[in-house]
């Protein structure tokens, strides 16, 4: 399972969100594909795009919400590529990584933004279904700059999992994913490697217990 | 009340829909503004657009449905113009003239297109509300080429009314509109002018009766 991140952002250098995402994606086996950078003259190469789509299993559109939709460049990409993409997209996954300056709770009936993010994303959801793709729940990063350091780290892991986690985002799957990430990280000093092995062992042994506990907590919260 | 029709269509010469619309708009006091033709180099002039918006009361986005949204060029226009348009749009009207190759009844739960056109247009509806504009029910022209001549004429009148009718599209308002159109048409020969006066007289005298009748018919149909 390999992910292609199709990023559309006209001024990516000034975006803390996108810098954060790029950093988080670096250590993973994913392809970062920034449209505005790749095609500064505005001419999208159809064959190149189809080859990229063909080589990946999870396609992700990553963009800031511009007027309740993607920036114009991603629409150019859609209008150019999609009509030729039936074969290369069939039965793959489509994800959306969305950034917004507005709090997520404003996207509801009675909120400042009136409609849910799901409602605004109907065109993307329909595109996924049209190509017989699985539409993943969107990953929404709202008001990144106002978050605490701890929350930012949490979001970093969640983003990395959105890019690479196979199957549903259950706790067990997420723990397995975390263990794999620790194992793949071979840059630690010897002392840290021992610590790491302990963490992996602990997580592995407690996986079922942790999942039961999470379930119970959720039930208790109602 | 004057309407600005902001058309986005990358190959307008081959579009029967758009030719039909253009012809229908010709005899009316409206502004036809085709983005791709006006800015072939892709550079939208902000000041020019703001002046156009400022000079009109009903703003209409007219486009074919491309991937459940407007063609990329209209998104370029939105991303360029809207953030500067708060003053010039406030309390005006926003309408959508949409063409689609798919029958309108496919746009529903269980239909081939899954979601309603209203759901796909949420981003536009939200833009209207954000600028304190009235969002008009969209004018949808589905499968134009398959329609009978009679139906096409009906749609021509409906489109003209969508561009210029003030207030709600009640039968009384539409009759008044029709009478005004007949009066404004001074190109008829003398014989035809007499006929025309008869029609106007008849419509005027029967207006209330016609409206009652329409209401009764609607009630009978349930």
Mean pLDDT throughout B15-26?
Answer: 93
Whether residue A72 and residue B75 make contact (CB cut-off 8 A), yes or no, is yes
Quickly state the pLDDT bin for B222 (edges 50, 70, 90). Answer: low
Banded pLDDT at B55 (limits 50, 70, 90): very high
Q: Is the pLDDT of residue A190 over 80?
A: no
Q: Any idea what the Cα angle at residue B12 is, between residues B10 and B13, rounded to 5°? A: 130
**Torsion angles phi and psi, residue A3, rounded to 5:** -105, 140
Q: If we measure between CA atoms, which residue out of A160, A180, A179 comes closest to residue A58?
A: A160
Question: Could you report the per-residue pLDDT of A45-88, keeping only the tens digit for each?
Answer: 999 999 999 999 999 999 999 999 999 999 999 999 999 999 99
pLDDT per residue over B157-176, tens digit each? 999 999 999 877 777 788 88
Q: Look at residues B99, B98, B49, B57 and name the one whose alpha carbon lies nearest to residue B77.
A: B49
B114 interfaces chain A, CB cutoff of 8 Å: yes
| CB count in 10 Å sphere of residue A184 | 11
Least confident of A5-14, A163-172, A195-204, B99-108: A195-204
> Given this model, what pLDDT does residue A178 score?
80
Mean pLDDT of chain A: 91
Kindly identify which residue of chain A lies nearest to residue B130, measuring between CA atoms: A113
pLDDT at residue A9 is higher than 80: yes
Q: Is B39 exposed, middle or buried (0-12, 13-18, 19+ CB in 10 A)?
A: middle
> Which range among A35-39, A139-143, B73-77, B211-215 shows the weakest confidence by mean pLDDT?
B211-215
Mean pLDDT of B119-137: 98
Smallest CA–CA separation between B45 and chain A, in Å? 16
Report pLDDT for B143: 92
Q: Above pLDDT 70, what percent of chain A? A: 98
Contacts of B76 in chain A (CB under 8 A): 72
> What is the 8-class DSSP label of residue B69?
B
The ipTM, to two decimals, is 0.88
Domain segments of chain A as ranges: 3-166, 170-221
Closest residue on chain B to A68 (Cα): B123
Compare all CA atoms of chain B with the CA of A41 and give the residue at the minimum distance: B42
pLDDT at residue number A186: 63
Contacts of A82 in chain B (CB under 8 A): 67
**Which pLDDT score, from 0 to 100, does residue A30 have?**
97
B-chain residues near A113 (CB < 8 A) = 126
Distance CA B157, CA B141 (A): 13
Mutate to test the interface with A, among B63, B69, B131 (most CBs of A within 10 A): B69
Please give the Cα distance from B204 to A3 (Å, whole number).
Answer: 66
B207-215 contacts, C-beta under 8 A, 24 or more apart: B207/B172, B207/B175, B207/B176, B208/B172, B210/B171, B210/B175, B211/B170, B211/B171, B211/B172, B214/B171
* pLDDT confidence bin for A213, thresholds 50/70/90: confident
Contact B76 A72 (CB under 8 A): yes
What confidence score (pLDDT) does residue A209 get?
77
User: Which CATH number is A3-166 given?
Assistant: 3.40.50.360
- Provide CB contacts within 8 A for A165, sequence distance 6+: A173, A174, A177
């Amino acid at each position: 399972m390999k992910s292609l991140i199709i990023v559309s952002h006209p001024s990516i250098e000034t975006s803390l969100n996108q810098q954060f995402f790029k950093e988080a994606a670096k250590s993973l086996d994913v392809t970062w594909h920034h449209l505005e950078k790749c095609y500064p003259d505005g001419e999208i190469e159809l064959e190149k795009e189809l080859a990229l789509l063909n080589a990946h299993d999870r396609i992700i559109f990553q963009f800031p919400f511009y007027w309740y939709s993607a920036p114009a460049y991603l629409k150019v990409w859609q209008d150019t590529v999609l009509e030729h993409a039936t074969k290369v997209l069939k039965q793959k996954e489509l994800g959306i990584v969305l950034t917004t300056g507005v709090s997520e709770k404003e996207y509801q009936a009675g909120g400042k933004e009136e409609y849910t993010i799901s409602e605004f994303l109907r065109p993307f959801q329909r595109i996924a279904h049209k190509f017989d793709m699985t539409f993943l729940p969107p990953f929404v990063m709202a008001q990144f700059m106002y978050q605490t350091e701890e929350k930012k780290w949490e979001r970093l892991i969640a983003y990395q999992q959105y890019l690479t986690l196979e199957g549903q985002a259950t706790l067990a799957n997420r723990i397995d994913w975390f263990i794999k990430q620790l194992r793949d990280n071979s840059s630690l000093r010897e002392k840290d490697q021992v610590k790491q092995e302990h963490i992996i062992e602990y997580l592995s042994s407690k996986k079922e217990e942790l999942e039961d506990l999470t379930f119970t907590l959720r039930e208790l919260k109602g």
